[in-house]
Amino acid sequence: MKFLLVFDFDHTIIDENSDTWIVKCAPDAKLPDEIRNSYQKGRWTEYMGRVFRFLGDSGIREEEMKRTMTMIPFTKGMKNLLEFVGKHKDVFDCIIISDSNAIFIDWILKASNFCQVFNEVFTNPASFDGCGYLTVENFHAHNCAQCPVNLCKRKVLEEFLESPSKQRMKYSQILYIGDGGNDLCPVMCLKKDDVVMPRHGYRLQKMVSQLSQDLVPLEASIVTWSSGIEILAYLELLIK
């Protein structure tokens, strides 16, 4: 049986937030206060829609956005990790579940030649309209009170595992690699043989630690990481 690696994207694979990185394209690399102050909790995708409209109104088009996004830095050691996984696809299935968008992730993975590492990417759909403006939509609808309205990563993971071609019995172990608050919901459904890998010093690690203090520990084992090299070393031991 294979292992399933589930990756977040922002601050996990890449060492930045792709949605805030795109602001480098804006005039003076700044957003107007009325846009910056318009964010409502849980409605980030709607907020980014306003950001993309502003960029379009400012004359920023696809090629400039693509050039900016493909300069985004990968997290330390993450390229080594993805190269390792790519060489061992007989052992690892690999998916991304991200609150970024399909255009940004596709640009970044293609520029670094990592598309083939991932079996599937689950993220908010995006496209350029007839005027050359980038538009983004919610990934799905859900009833989870803990997650943003556009994406419940737990629902995505559970539906992936329940799909006819990806029955859970296919995977000997699931390893979830992430950093953020929206990664807590999916790791709550992991089982005792699985592993949650929160990035050291980031919100997911703090939330997982708080669960233990509140006597609501995860079933899965916890392995923190600071660089992709540490995850790579763990995987090497796993497949020996």
Cα separation, 71 vs 68, in Å, equals 6
Percent helix, percent strand, percent coil in the chain, to nearest 5: 45, 20, 35
The SS3 call for residue 84 is: helix
Tell me which amino acid residue 174 is.
I
> Which residue is catalytic, options 10, 19, 99, 183?
10
> Which residue is catalytic, options 8, 19, 99, 183?
8
How many other CB atoms are found less than 10 A from the CB of residue 214? 8
Radius of gyration of the chain (CA): 18
Residue 10 designated active-site: yes
Q: How far is CA 200 from CA 22, 57, 110, 211, 224, in A?
A: 25, 39, 28, 16, 6
108 and 72 in contact (C-beta within 8 Å)? yes
Cα separation, 203 vs 185, in Å, equals 13
Active site residues: 8, 10
